[in-house]
């Protein structure tokens, strides 16, 4: 890569070279937003508004070497923003536009937001959709926003807002037209009961996002934060990052479907998840079932993988009592689960349990726990250094993400 870059320097302009380097390092997807990694002068496509200092920062970046920066002493109720020029991105009424951006806020009492706004042909405002807030942190955080263009839409604009006094950096914006989802066949003998394709922001009526509490487990050193659970381009991202605050060493992302009472209290069924595990030594990605209301055991691990043993996928049932738990574990070996998506299925039919990976039956077992209502959850975390499971991640491999394409829950016909 270095050798090729040296050759490119001779024959390409610095502007083109910077774009190629960012594409190589960041693997940034194509975007409707102009200059998405801000590696070239942003003023041709972006402008600013507010009582702040606006900079094209050449020293701080999520990927590459450049980002946008807002520094402000504005009051808590005010906001300043970088934004794309209103007539730069054409849009069409009735279409769904989905976007994400990476932000870092180092203020005190300030926060950042990503906003998608829609405009008519006369550049009249029609409406907007906002991301969750990015609170002060020293780590880059990805936020998403998605919305349907209203009637008479001609343009869509992306905005990066800083609310209150502080400093905000912005990098790697993605904006795409959301394509229709192609349905996949329902497995024979089962009927879809609940499905989540993550084509819209997380619905609190379906999902409980873990926020501001420590991950359970003697070897965990992670505090779950809602900012580490995001959705973009039809994918749920559960992140792991260094904790910029006191307390646990890491922050992580997680959620479960407890609010969806139709599908979070099942004692039979089929759970199907397409996912890619987090990459890096010391990371842990988990998808499983556990008691609702809370009770442990039982627990079903549909899939779990740690970066310390990246070729091993763990599937198991946990039974017994909380003081004397017992583990029925199977190790599936032969892949690196963090490089591509795999489809994981768990079936609970009568007293028979079955686990599949990519359509191949990997384990069949008798039910060893007493039947109890179960919900599905997922999380990404890291642990204490030197622990057998999962050990600790260094800052060089973080942030890392477990990506989930969909969750589908079926009942037997």
> What pLDDT was estimated at residue 332?
93
Residue 183 located in a structural domain: no
Residue 12 located in a structural domain: no
Contact in structure between 39 and 18 (CB atoms under 8 Å): yes
Which of 177, 208, 223 is at the close of a domain? 177
Q: Looking at the structure, do residues 166 and 31 belong to the same domain, yes or no?
A: yes
Which of 133, 154, 177 is at the close of a domain? 177
Residue 343 located in a structural domain: yes
> What pLDDT was estimated at residue 106?
82
In the block, tokens 């407890």 appear at 258
Task: Kindly report the CATH number assigned to the domain that includes residue 358.
Answer: 2.60.120.200
The pTM for the full model equals: 0.62
Residue 22 located in a structural domain: no
For residue 307, report the phi and psi dihedrals to the nearest 5 degrees: -65, -25
Residue 13 located in a structural domain: no
Contact in structure between 338 and 278 (CB atoms under 8 Å): yes
Mean pLDDT confidence for 143-156: 89
Task: Kindly report the CATH number assigned to the domain that includes residue 147.
Answer: 2.60.120.260
Q: Looking at the structure, do residues 100 and 233 belong to the same domain, yes or no?
A: no
In the structure, what pLDDT confidence band is assigned to residue 392 with cuts at 50, 70 and 90?
very high
Q: Looking at the structure, do residues 120 and 195 belong to the same domain, yes or no?
A: no
Which of 117, 151, 177 is at the close of a domain? 177
Which residues sit opposite 286 in a β-bridge?
Answer: 304, 379
Q: How far apart are CA 295 and CA 265, in angstroms?
A: 12
Q: How far apart are CA 103 and CA 61, in angstroms?
A: 10
Residue 182 located in a structural domain: no
- Its domain, for residue 331, covers 190-412
Cβ-count burial 159-182 (b if 16+ within 10 Å, e if not): bbbbbbbbbbbbbbbbbbebeeee
Integer-rounded Cα radius of gyration of the chain? 23
Give residue-wise pLDDT tens across range 336-390.
798 888 999 999 999 999 999 999 999 999 999 999 999 999 999 999 998 888 9
Q: How far apart are CA 66 and CA 84, in angstroms?
A: 17
Q: Looking at the structure, do residues 197 and 172 belong to the same domain, yes or no?
A: no
In the block, tokens 């795999």 appear at 342
352 CB neighbour count, 10 Å cutoff: 11
Q: Looking at the structure, do residues 238 and 384 belong to the same domain, yes or no?
A: yes
Q: Looking at the structure, do residues 197 and 276 belong to the same domain, yes or no?
A: yes
> What pLDDT was estimated at residue 11?
32
Q: CA 273, 279, 280 angle in degrees (round to 5)?
A: 145
Q: Looking at the structure, do residues 296 and 386 belong to the same domain, yes or no?
A: yes
Strands in 6-85 per DSSP E: 46-49, 53-57, 67-72, 79-84
Domains in the chain: how many in total? 2
Q: Looking at the structure, do residues 273 and 394 belong to the same domain, yes or no?
A: yes
Give residue-wise pLDDT tens across range 223-265.
999 989 998 878 899 999 999 888 899 999 999 999 999 999 9
Q: Looking at the structure, do residues 140 and 236 belong to the same domain, yes or no?
A: no
Q: Looking at the structure, do residues 135 and 75 belong to the same domain, yes or no?
A: yes
Q: How far apart are CA 359 and CA 30, in angstroms?
A: 31
């Amino acid at each position: 890569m270095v050798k090729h870059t040296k050759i490119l320097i001779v024959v390409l302009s610095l502007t083109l070279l910077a774009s190629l380097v960012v594409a190589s390092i960041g693997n940034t997807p194509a975007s409707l937003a102009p200059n998405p990694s801000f590696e070239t002068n942003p003023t041709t496509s972006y402008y600013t508004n507010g009582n702040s200092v606006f900079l094209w920062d050449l020293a701080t970046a999520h990927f590459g070497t450049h980002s946008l920066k807002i520094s402000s002493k504005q009051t808590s109720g005010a906001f300043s923003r970088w934004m794309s020029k209103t007539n730069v991105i054409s849009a069409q009424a009735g279409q769904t536009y989905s976007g994400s951006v990476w932000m870092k806020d180092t203020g005190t009492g300030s926060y950042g937001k990503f906003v998608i706004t829609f405009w008519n042909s006369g550049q009249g405002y029609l409406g907007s959709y906002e991301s969750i807030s990015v609170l002060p942190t020293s780590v880059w955080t990805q936020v998403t926003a998605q919305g349907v263009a209203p009637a008479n839409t001609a343009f869509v604009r992306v905005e990066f807002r800083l609310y209150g006094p502080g400093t905000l950096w912005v990098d790697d914006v993605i904006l795409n037209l959301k394509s229709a989802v192609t349905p996949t066949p329902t497995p024979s003998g089962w009927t879809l009961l609940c499905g989540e394709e993550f084509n819209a922001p997380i619905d609190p009526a379906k999902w409980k996002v873990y926020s501001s509490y420590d991950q359970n487990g003697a070897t965990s050193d992670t505090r779950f934060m809602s900012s580490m659970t995001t959705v973009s381009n039809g994918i749920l991202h559960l992140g792991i990052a260094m904790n910029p605050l006191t307390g646990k060493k890491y922050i992580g992302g997680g959620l479960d479907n407890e609010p969806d009472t139709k599908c979070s209290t099942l004692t039979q069924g089929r759970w199907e998840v397409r996912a890619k595990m987090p990459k890096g030594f010391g990371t842990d990605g988990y998808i499983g079932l556990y008691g609702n209301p809370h009770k442990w055991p039982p627990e079903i691990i549909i899939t779990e993988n740690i970066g310390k043993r990246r070729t091993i996928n763990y599937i198991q049932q946990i039974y017994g009592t909380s003081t004397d738990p017992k583990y029925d574990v199977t190790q599936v070996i032969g892949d690196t689960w963090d490089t591509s998506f795999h489809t994981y299925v768990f079936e609970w039919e009568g007293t028979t349990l079955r686990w599949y990976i990519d359509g191949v039956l990997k384990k069949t077992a008798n039910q060893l726990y007493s039947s109890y209502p179960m919900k599905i959850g997922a999380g990404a975390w890291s642990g204490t250094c030197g622990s057998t499971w999962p050990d600790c991640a260094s800052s060089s491999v973080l942030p890392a993400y477990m990506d989930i394409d969909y969750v589908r829950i079926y009942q037997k016909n």
